[in-house]
Structure 1
Amino acid sequence: MYKLLLFCFIIMLVGCPHKYNIQKTDRKTEAQLYKEATDLAKSKKYKQAIEVFQEIEDLYPFSDWAIKAQLQSAIVNHDSGNYSKAAALLDEYVYMYPNNQNIAYVYYLRILSYYAQIDGIKREQKMAYTTLELLREYMHIFPTNQYSSILEKKMDSVIDHIAAYELSVGKFYLKRGHYISAIKRFEEIENNYSSSNYTTEALCRSIEAYLALGIQEEAYRKRLKILDRPDAKKCERYK
């Protein structure tokens, strides 16, 4: 019995390395897996593509192929509409590889991923504020980059969006007689989002609030600011 067990043990020792070598030999290379994943992505098989990109990161961590795979995984998540996952991957990429040759594009795609998640003006605007912060950061780091002109338009859109939200909240307070709270919202637009299409109306509403509080001097100062604006005539429609 002892000899039989010893014989089986020896067979197992001989057989195990052989089995391991077969598995190792059969493993696909980074390049093969990367091509497989990109082909899947081109065919819009996004879920399978992401799984293969993840496999590259798991099998070959911190290799050049793994770094490429992480970026491609973010791109595929963005293309498939999973913007929150794309943004998270790109946040991590910026943190891990700030000097990567593709970093300008990574910043750009990250902004688009956050931008796509901005809610309507009737809801809180945390995502809009974050997007604007990222846009301003991008313009500071890459002022003349190939994506700058596209992102300038996005910035104008986000500023308008935030200003519209602030205006809607201010008008809510104004209607209910909470004049101080209303003024804070209107002046937020005036001070931080003055390039928006809602600044003139914010100034007009501020005048209403100041007059309701009996603060004539401040109302007059707001009126002078409106006269300096190219769209000053808009104020007439808000009365």
Structure 2
Amino acid sequence: MKSNAFRLGAALAAIVVALAACSVSDPPDPTIGWSPDRLYAEAKDEMSAANYPKAVELLGKLESRYPFGRWAQQAQIEIAWAHYKDGERALALSAIDRFLRLHPEHPALDYALYLKGLINFNEQQGLIAWLGRQDLAERDLQAARESFDTFKQLVTRFPESKYAPDAEARMTYLVASMARGEMLIARYYFQRGAYVAAANRAQEVVRKYDRAPAVEDALAILVHSYDKLGMTELRDDAQRVLDRNFPNSEAMARVTANDDRRWWQVWR
């Protein structure tokens, strides 16, 4: 009898402890009963204060409690914006891609595309970090390409959008940035004696970005690379194109220069 009573008492004590722990770890949600207007207003206030994680939390509650109609849609796109402002690129892209997938005909589709372009545009600024790097991987240009493609989709589908002019300006900048990125890789290969790889990269710049400032140095890379490979006919062809399009060019000297900082600043 005493053993049974002891076990019963221990079980009751364990239940009491568990209930007490729950009461401590799970306080009542103060937003219970809030209207959608209040949830949204509070989330906007948190964003204004740069408290983006809290804003995301409130917007998530708004979407889950009002899953249909404009409140859920607004919450989804605001969550993407909050993640973007918080520097959470992967989360921001996931959120905006979800919005685009769920609402392909939404009235704010042009803004959603613009935001997706901005998320990747901000990421591509990391190209500058290449100057001190040893590993120039293809993935480093991916964000710039994705940003360009999204802005292009925006201006093609919504040419009258208020976001279109800024998107077009960013596209122009991205073309120059991508060309610079390709040229940094080309020069990386050239300086390490990988002349075939250097020539291939330089050819890509001339072919894809024919109006970019980096084309001048791409042609010079081609001349030097073909010369190193003993491909004299191709070397002379590249030299003629360089001389015709860039008279008095200093690009030939830049290719063999050791000052990476100078190389970058020429294209700025």
TM-score of the superposition, structure 2-length normalised?
0.71
User: Which piece of structure 1 moves more, 49-58 or 120-129?
Assistant: 120-129
Partner SS state of residue 245, structure 2: coil
- Deviation string, structure 1 residues 103-126 (Cα, Å, up to 9, x no partner): 111111111111111233524322
| Contact 2:217/2:252, CA 8 A, preserved across alignment | no
Unmatched tracts of structure 2, length 5 or more: 1-31, 131-135, 256-268
Unmatched tracts of structure 1, length 5 or more: 1-25
1:46 and 2:52 correspond? yes
Shift of 1:45: 2.9
| Contact 2:83/2:92, CA 8 A, preserved across alignment | yes
Any residues of structure 2 matched to 1:1-239 within 5 Å, and which? 27-118=33-124, 119-120=126-127, 122=130, 123=136, 124-229=140-245, 233-235=249-251, 237-238=253-254
Q: How many residues are paired up?
A: 215
| Contact 1:211/1:219, CA 8 A, preserved across alignment | yes
Which stretches of structure 1, 4 residues or longer, exceed 6 Å deviation after superposition?
A: none
Alignment partners' CA distance in 2, 1:88 and 1:232 = 49
Partner SS state of residue 116, structure 1: helix
Partner SS state of residue 221, structure 2: helix
| Contact 1:200/1:232, CA 8 A, preserved across alignment | no
| Contact 2:182/2:201, CA 8 A, preserved across alignment | yes
Alignment partners' CA distance in 2, 1:234 and 1:151 = 33
User: Which piece of structure 1 moves more, 60-69 or 168-177?
Assistant: 168-177
Aligned residue for 2:265? Answer: none
Shift of 1:231: 6.9
Distance 1:154 1:216, change over 3 A: same
- Deviation string, structure 1 residues 180-210 (Cα, Å, up to 9, x no partner): 2111010011111222221110001101111
Aligned residue for 1:13? Answer: none
Aligned-residue CA RMSD (Å): 2.4
TM-score of the superposition, structure 1-length normalised?
0.79
Alignment partners' CA distance in 2, 1:53 and 1:224 = 60
Alignment partners' CA distance in 2, 1:169 and 1:72 = 37
Alignment partners' CA distance in 2, 1:176 and 1:135 = 36
Alignment partners' CA distance in 2, 1:231 and 1:155 = 28
Aligned residue for 2:11? Answer: none
Distance 1:76 1:176, change over 3 A: closer
| Contact 1:84/1:113, CA 8 A, preserved across alignment | no
